[in-house]
Structure formats: structure tokens, C-alpha cells
A and B are shown apart, each in its own frame.
Chain A
Amino acid sequence: MTFRITRRAALGAGLAAALPLPAIAQGAVAKPDRIVVNASGGAMANLFRRTYNAEFEKRHGIRVVDTSPVDFGKLRAMVESGNVEWTVTELGGQDFVRAKQMNLLEPLDLSIIDLSRYPAAVRDSHIFPSSVYSTVMAFRTDVFPNGTHPKGWAEFWDVRRFPGPRSLRNHPVDNLEFALLADGVAMDKIYPIDMDRAFAKLDQLRQHVTVWWTTGAQPAQLLVDREVVLASGWNGRFYDIARRGAPVAVEWQGGCAKQNAFGIPRGARHTHWANQFLQVMTTPQLQAVYATELAYPGLHPDTLNFVEESVKPHLPTTPANLEKQFWLGVDWWTDNGQRAQEAWNRWMLRRG
């Protein structure tokens, strides 16, 4: 056992010396046996293992153990009990703002993580911007062939021109925005959200939404099963089924782009290696692999250079796609999420 650790340490040191990185600085920090990275499971976990985890293990000789799922409640419980298992964790949805507000995160060490080429808007002291995803409209190409599909939410709402059952998420996020866009609000005027107006607009569509989906896999499956002909959903899910031959395509107009975030739980052990792991995650070549597989590109500006042309139309960060979408108002949701959710529950409960 001792021998093994020593040998692995030596190996790591050798590798580190060979790399053009600030190797002197890290040589001083003790190496743990392993770090724990908590992220979404499933296909994403496999991809993580092949890309970021493998690269980190290669560079530093420290094993990466992956766990899932992403759970904000668990993060809070861990931090509050002082028993933090995770070295690094993904932060689901819009939780990263609250995680920072509630002081659940360690500050990032920007001397290790090089964010200098990232867009200024996403650089933060505590939140690592890992990738971009978007809630977009998807449709069956056999029902709406040759560009006859709804282009934007106003048309999604137009059940006479575009008949057929629809599916939206059983959640206020995105839907309130989509309702306002459908009602003619400009993309840059969405926030602060006028909830009454949004719900009034949702009332109009209500009976045509046959399924309010709960999990990310649902809308893709609903389209495949012909359960619905139009649905909102996460772009990667539609990318996945379209690549596998399903007659499903995406309309970027009015899509709601969001950043996926990672952070270091406050009180985590080995924060140095947590920062090192996040630095590995900035590698544009690896982000490109990730983008090609899942259509969730990272925010390093070089990432698109390593992605094949055929993949680019499916990525939310491709400039032509990006200009059709708006960024989710994270701050508004952080302040109003619970209120909006209660209003949503109440609205869902109203039979009609």
C-alpha cells in the first residue's frame, strides 16, 4: 500500500514536471488518494469519466470518484454538518446563485483556474461556469415538415395554425418567460416577470398541454412516442434522439439559455485539488468532446474551434443560435422562485 502511494506520487510528480503548468506551486500540496466529483449521473457521468476525470487522473495521479445525483438539499446538509464528502459538485439549475448567497461555497482560486479568456459576464468568485444548455422548442419533423413548424412561442401558442398536443415542463422556470414572449414581450424586457400576465397567457394554452413533464428525458420520449407533436425541453436531449434518427428537430428562436455551474462545497477537503479539477474542466479540447457528445458546450471561446461543422448547428453557443435566445434571469428567479412555484402549483391545481 505504502509502496503504491509512493509510486503514484512519484508518477504524478514526474508528469507534473513534464507539463508547462505552474508545477512548482502544486508540488508543495499533499496529494490525497482520491477526490470526489458529484455531478449528474447517466450518460453525463460516462462522458465525465472519459474526459475531465481521465485528464485529471493523468495530470495529477489522483483518482477521481464520481457520485450522483446533484442535490442542493444534500449540499446544504453536508456543509452545515461539516461533513463534506464532495470535493467538487455540480449545481443544478439556478441553484448556484443561492448556493453562493447561503455561503455554501468555497471561493475559487483564480490563480489556478484560468478564466481570463471566458466572457466577463460569467466570471465569478465562487461559481465555475462549466457549460451552456438551453430550453428550446422541439417538434416532430413529420408533422411539421420543410420549415412549417412554429417559429417562436407566439406560434407555439397558436393552436389553430399548429394543431396537436403539446408538452411543457411542470415548473414555472422557462414557462413564464415563454408565455410573455408569446404575449409579445421583447426578449430584453422579460424581467422582471409580470406573473399575472404570464399566467393569463398560460391559461390560453392550458388545455392543449396534455403532459406537463417532470424529468428531462420525458419530452424527448413524448415526441418519439407521438404522445405530443410539440414540446419544450433541454436541447441536449433532443440532439440525442435526433442523432439516433428520431424525426425530431429544434427551433432555437426564443430558447432560454442557461449556464451550468460547478462549485466547491464550503469545508471541502483538498480545495487545492478541487481548483485543479476545475482548471482541467476549462480545457477547450475536452469541452469540445463534451459538446459533440451532449450538445452542452463549455464557455471557453476556443471550444467551437474543436467541434466539427456538422455539430455546430446543434449547439446553443453557436453565434447564429445564440442570438435567437435569451439568458435566463437567474437573479429574478433567485429572489422570486418560491413565490413563483407556489403560484405555479396553485395554477396547476386549478382544474380547467
Chain B
Amino acid sequence: MDLTLRGVVRRFGTVTALAGIDLDVAEGELLTILGPSGSGKTTLLKIVAGFEFPDEGTVHLGNSDVTVAPPRSRDVGMVFQNYALFPHMTVAQNVAFPLEMRRLAKPERERRVAEALALVELAEYGHRLPRQLSGGQQQRVALARAIVFKPRLLLLDEPFGALDRKLREAMQLEVRRLQRRLKLTTLFITHDQEEALILSDRIAVMSAGRIEQIGLPDDVYARPGTRFVADFVGESNLLDGVARSGAEAEAAGFGTVTLIAPAGAPGARATLLVRPEALRIGAPAAGLANRTTGTIIETVFLGLSVKLRLRLGTGLELLARLPLRPSEPFPLAEGDDVPIGFAPEDVHVIADAGR
């Protein structure tokens, strides 16, 4: 393991920012810490970088215990949210800074700077000042500066937040490519679940100072361990249910839901997750094990898909997402009463919903 956290606790007065974090990041892995603001992910990042120290627990980089080591001795490259480029130094001077601190000889330094800048496709920009660059270029400089000294860990703190959507997507792919190519062990902090799903090898979802779930992106998406994860990662229909005997559950406002396996001991509470894209509307709903009817109360067109808000007779509301074919007009409209259905295998059961 390249980065290992064990039982890390951090308190600020009476507030517990981190309530016992265990985390392992494997060599060359890109692990994303995903969480809403206030979940403790920034504190976790600072503890890994060495800008803060844990009250309890340990931090290891490789085999060395860096729990209370100062930032400079950790060998961690970090890209800050606002890039934190030194405004009075040129791009080349910025990138050379970590090499200079490591007292590399000048020729070697210049070679590595040129290499790093070439890697982020800014070879021609070495003599410019950061303020003379665009946002995306500044970010690439920050990235070059963070990897030029071949750190044992790369930290990315919401680095794409300031970019517009198109540039953000391009940068995300570029970072991913670079990370793979250089086999950089990377800890990536974000609150953007979409970004996390695109980039990560694994995702750790944080809430209230704890890691709620850690796993592969499609695991976290399709099989969330907790109601919070289900709600935070992607859009969801969450039904409050009670397990029945056999592969069935009783969902509030919906009625009996057929599952592929028992939801637990009969009478046990469970949350039933049905992703919006698993709902079938209209004719395709026919023949599915779980069926009902509802009224379309809102339609939102999203380019490749359309999002529908539906209300059942019981008052329960459901979200559905249907693919759109550009050549065909969308057949449904607000106010239509439509059949709704989903297959048993599309229902994910989260046991003990705690409510």
C-alpha cells in the first residue's frame, strides 16, 4: 500500500471533523474522496498533505510513518483548488521550484522542467507569468509543478471546479491519462459525483467525518451500502420498505415490490433503490413484475435523455430517465397518465435504512 490511514481522528473544539478514518490507496491507484462540503474531506486532505495533524491515528506513506511529519518531507505533490501558482515567478520557475528545493543541479532541473511542461503541452509557455495564462493552462502548470519531482503521492483538491464544463471534461481525461501513464498514486478530492465516477479507480464516499462506503465506481453507483450513498451518488428513487416472506417487500406508497432475493427477515425495514433509468414508462412497462400507473407532472429534456417526474395515486413521486432518439418525437407529455414498471433485478435493497 502506498498511502495508509489508520483510525485517523481530528477534532476542532467540540466538532469532530474526522471520526476514525481507515483508508488504503494502492500504488498507481486513483482513489477519489467524494463527499459534500462539511463531510471532512478537506481535513483529510490536509492531514495527508501535512498542513494539519491528526489527534489520533496514523498516516503512512509507503513504509514510513508521516503522521506528524512536516509537509516538505512528505514528498507529496498537490494541485490546489485555485492552483496556488506563485504569481511573481514564471511558469518555468514555478515548475522548477520543487526541484530547486531538492537542490537538483541546474541542467537536470531544466531538463525535468522542460519534460514536465511538454507533458502538459505547455512547452512554449515557460517564460510567461501565471496571470498571462488561461484557467486551463494555469491548471496544467499546477499539475506539472506537482508531478515534476516524481512525488510518491499526488493530491488533487477539487482542481476542476473553476473551469467551464467543456474544459473540465477535457482536463479530467487529460489528468486521468497522465496519471495512468506515470502510474501516479493519486488521492482526488471532489464533491462532484459525476467527476468521481468518470475518473476514479475506486471511490470513498464521506459523510460527517466517516467513510460511508469505499469501492469501485459501478459498485458505489449500483450497489450503494447506505441510503446516504444512494442519495449522494447519482439520482435515485428511494422507497421505504418492509421485508415480506419470500423475495418480496412492501413499499410505502407503491405496494408490493417483487425482488430477486429476500430483503431480509420478514418485517425488517429496508430501503429499496430504483435508479431513474431503470423505470419503464408506457408500453415497455407491460409484463414487468412491478407495475403501477402515474401521472407525468414534469418533463425536463437533457439532450440525450429526458427526465420525468411522475406522481402515483398514493402521492408518491418517482423520477424516470428515458433515452431520447433525435429522429423520433418524444411521445409523452405532462399530464399523461402512463403505466410505470421496473424489473426485480433493478431493485437494490439497502438493509436497515434506519428509519
A and B touch in the complex (CB under 8 A): no
Chain A contacts to B: CB under 8 angstroms: none
Chain B contacts to A: CB under 8 angstroms: none
